[in-house]
Structure 1
Amino acid sequence: MSTMEPAVAMPIAVKGVQMVEVSAPSDLPGGYVFDAVANGQTFSVTVPAGGVSRGQTFRAPFEPGGGGVPASAVPEGLWKDGLCDCCMFGCCHPTLWMGMCCPLALLGQVQNRLRLNWLGVRANPGDQSPFKVLLGITFFAMVWSQLFSSLLSGYIDPNTGLPIEGSPFWSIYSVNIAFSLALGVFSIYVIFKTRQHIRERSGIPEKSCQGCEDCCCAFWCGCCTVTQMARQTAEYETYVAQCCSETGLPVSAPQLQFGGTEIV
């Protein structure tokens, strides 16, 4: 049986047999067996013939085994810690370094925990993993930056340190600025949408900048905001943070719960 991150399930009744509606954690072939969570307990689910896509729902019998792992509860009505508590797990914690070096990749891990897509809204069956998409955008931005820096340096007069007259320096520079601006706006938007989702699902009221707190946090403190969301949606006291996993957590980490209800 697979040890992948437990999927989520919602109880339903079918002819006296307790059934659950399961949300597939990834693209899986027919006959594949994985763990799901219902009523705070894990149980085995067999994928029906034909397979399923990530986020697709299907029905399965609920047969919990002994020693089920309870789902991880997200605090209701408050943040676990402050926006600037980035070092609360130490200066070598993976979340801290990902937040500083690859904040979009860390955001993708948080979105995977919340069953969101890379735009910060509810994921649909077959959607790409937000971690992979945002990590890809991060790598593309890094390559873009190096490429354009090299191009621009080639049009600088070594004697004066100024752009060579008649060269395409300013055209290339304008394209680079436009890309940087677009990436910045995109980053603010997806951080804003993800934080808004967490705050609304957890019933956390805005304390400042009423009506635009999420946007202000994303704009002024993007890295701190992402690391706070990562701490809010994980139990780092119990589960070790991972840089390269889809959720940033071990596969044994339980599914998130908001107010006692699994994320669906």
Structure 2
Amino acid sequence: MNERVDVIMPVASVPDLRVPPLAVTTGDPRVEWVDMPNGTWAFQLRPTMRIPYDPAGAVRARRHLRALPVDLAIRLVFVLIMLTTFVGEGPFLGLSSDTWLWARLGAIIAVIAWSFPLRRWLPEQYPVTQAGRVVRVPHLPCEVAEEWVRLNPETVRIVAENVPVRRYRPRVYVIWSAACFAGALLVGVALVRDAVPGRLWLAVPALLIAAVVAIVKGAAPGLRPTFPRSTDGSR
């Protein structure tokens, strides 16, 4: 069972999914079931997935789930602190601008430091939602993935690892990239001419990063899977 693959399925099919009692980590029939969110956002309205792990994998998965509320709190504090970037010069909430600068630096360091244990606890077979409508369970033994397909022939597909699922055609990403580049140029020109507040300079790198991401998505090979209309959530 050295070879590994991923399985994908429509989000709408998750409630009726038939999961074989084989550990997604090792293929062992001795499993422990863990209710996992079918995406990186744990507090979501979408239904969770019951994933069978081997005992060691189940411990790791449960530890990761217990850490998610802490992760949410840390990220919320981080966002609130970073929003002080848009506050003008002078004291804010009784703290000087220099104090807020150090607070932002500390928040960045805290988020980076916290990401290491959180990532270490994340099981490889963690369901993720891709392209808004597809759930992907990565890194399954081939025999286990084939059993998922056998039990759910209409909804489950086997795909190679590291092949991304795309929501749109490549030309959509090209258009989005061009729009982001144009937006960054317009904001940059406005900043040079003092037509907008100086603190909006953050929009320039943000738009440039979005443009690069769109280019990468459009140029890289990807997969746009098709499912029966009764199972893919289409109306």
Q: TM-score, normalised by structure 1?
A: 0.28
Q: TM-score, normalised by structure 2?
A: 0.30
